Amino acid sequence: MTSEQLFEGATDQWSLQRLYDDLAIAKKQLMPHKRPDLTEVEQARLRGLLLGLSPAEIAEQQYTATRTVEVALSQGLYRYVEVLVGRDRNSLETWRNVVDWLGAAGYRNTQVAINWAQMPDVPVLYGRQPELDQLQDWILGDMPCRLIAINGPAGIGKTSLAIRLAKQLQPKFEGVIWQSLRHRPVLEDVLGQWLGQLPGSAVSPTPGRDSEIAWYDQLSLLMDYLRQHRCLVVIDNLETILSSGSLVGNYETGYEAYGELLKRMAEEAHQSCVVITSRESNREIRGSAAATRPIRHLALQGLNYEAAEHILEEESLAGKALWKSLVQQYRGNPLMLRIVAMTIDELFDGDVRNFLRQRMTLFGDIKYLIDQQYDRLSDAEQEILVQLAEQAEPLPIEQLNHEQSLPAVSALLRRSLIEKSAAGFTLRPVVMEYVRQHLP
């Protein structure tokens, strides 16, 4: 791919030619000894920044070192932007200022982006190209989906994948919304914010009605908007509003209205798409493998070895021949692998062999990740985990002694806490150690 083809999506969102011309004037003012126009490489990096990509993400696409891109930006584009928008030299504090400043200066085409600045910063996403291709096909294909769920355990990379997906698809939509549920906002507040920022939407519900009617009216207004406009909505961390101890993904008291939101988004015809990330599944986001279904489900698995290897390389770990053991032990979970790699570097001077001799896979932040999931399990699920932990080999489901074994095992599979093979069901290695530590 040439520099001219990189980050073409910015063309739909920004007045690029006008911006190229104005930045060329700023460049000539700052550096009269250089060619007055922006180079193809400078234009490509500018487009990457305008799409919300970090210097590290741009470097990855240009097959160059992150530091090379950072230095070039700090000596070039950042300074041109400061001159163009009338800022003091070296006042640009972060690459995100480029989008904010140029947007405020009127270079952005009409497109609404809600909560885009609240999106977490993920410098690099390792692997996941097959998953990205699958998701894009579901959203942009001949039979586009209305609702997609990305499920998987803590640390597996659901949010990172959703971020990369949203950034890549942003040019394809009239409006984009990023909504995290980490702080558990009530639906009425969320809908009010969205409708207040979506251009052309009628915000005010019918006066004099109670709050239940108010949020329902807001939801109807939103659905009307999604039918008339093509929007991408990402709802992150759905599990935070689901009740603990539930086998079927019930909602916490006070958050039941989210079920109606997802139900209507999934069942009613509209030209938009809603992407949900969650550690747990629920009724509204149970997907299907059928290509004709408007609801689809992606169970996110761990990284393959080639992708996971990059994480271990960043910490310069020794004993590369043993890296596969680490990846297998933690089932390619990128966050767990990063925690382990940093621990090995800090405590064992990067020696993987010395770490493995300790026979300790569960510690610190890794234990905390399992704690978060284990504390939310139903009694039936915890009892099934105990039965499996007491066995050295996989158990077929008919040998699990519990009246709720079928729904409990199904729930544990969806939470990625157990594994299925031809021999039966067993715990993932880290979960096995965790449960055995909790045995009476």
Domain-wise residue ranges, the chain: 3-109, 129-299, 305-360, 369-438
For the full predicted model, state whether its pTM sits above 0.75.
Answer: no
CA 133 to centroid of chain Cα atoms: 15
- Strand arrangement of the beta sheet that strand 231-236 belongs to: 112-114, 175-180, 231-236, 273-278, 147-151, 295-299
Side-chain-facing half-sphere of 232: CA atoms under 13 Å: 23
Domain 129-299 = CATH 3.90.45.10? no
Q: What string of pLDDT tens digits covers the 440 residues of the chain?
A: 566 678 876 776 688 899 999 999 999 999 888 777 899 999 999 998 987 788 998 998 888 999 999 999 999 999 999 999 999 999 999 998 998 899 888 887 767 788 887 888 776 788 899 999 999 999 988 888 999 999 998 899 999 999 999 988 887 888 899 999 999 999 999 998 898 888 766 544 443 344 444 888 899 999 999 998 889 999 999 999 998 887 767 899 999 999 999 999 998 999 899 999 998 877 666 654 454 578 898 989 999 999 999 889 888 888 889 999 999 989 999 999 999 999 999 999 999 999 988 888 888 889 998 998 888 899 999 999 999 998 878 999 989 888 888 989 988 888 888 889 899 999 988 898 899 887 76
In terms of DSSP bridges, do strands 295-299 and 418-421 run parallel, antiparallel, or are they unpaired?
A: unpaired
Res 144: pLDDT = 87
Question: How far apart are the C-alpha atoms of 179 and 118, rounded to whole Å?
Answer: 8
With contact defined as beta carbons under 8 Å apart, do 137 and 400 qualify? Answer: no
Q: What is the Cα gyration radius of the chain?
A: 24
For residue 114, the cross-strand partners are 177
CB–CB of 394/421 below 8 Å?
yes
Which helix (H) or strand (E) is 298 found in, with range?
strand 295-299
In whole angstroms, what is the distance from residue 141 CA to residue 88 CA? 46
Structure token pair of residue 276: 């949900």
Contact (CB, 8 A) for 16 and 10: yes
pLDDT of the residue at 282? 74
Q: Which pLDDT score is estimated for 208?
A: 39
pLDDT at res. 216: 85
- The first and second tokens of residue 295, run together, are 């609801």
Q: Would you state the pLDDT for residue 285?
A: 66
Query: Hey, what's the torsion of the CAs at 18, 24, 29, 35, to 10 degrees?
Result: -160
The pLDDT score that the predictor gives to residue 238 is 94
Amino acid at 176: V
Return d(Cα 321, Cα 271) in angstroms, integer.
Answer: 50
The pLDDT value given to residue 210: 43
Task: Measure CA 255 to chain center.
Answer: 22
CA neighbor of 333 nearest in space, from 195, 135, 127, 138: 127
Dihedrals phi, psi of 396, to nearest 5 degrees: -70, 155
Q: What is the pLDDT of residue 286?
A: 60
**How many angstroms from the chain centroid is the CA of residue 118?**
12
- The answer to whether 47 and 16 have CB atoms below 8 angstroms apart is yes
Which are the contacts of 30, defined by CB distance < 8 A and separation ≥ 6?
79, 80, 83
Overall CATH class of domain 369-438:
mainly alpha
Q: For residue 200, what pLDDT is reported?
A: 63
CA-to-CA distance for 319 and 278, rounded, in angstroms? 35
Which pLDDT value is given to residue 392? Answer: 75
Contacts by residues 198-205 (CB-CB < 8 Å, ≥ 24 positions apart): 198/112, 198/114, 198/225, 198/229, 198/231, 199/110, 199/112, 200/225, 201/225
CA distance 344 to 317: 8
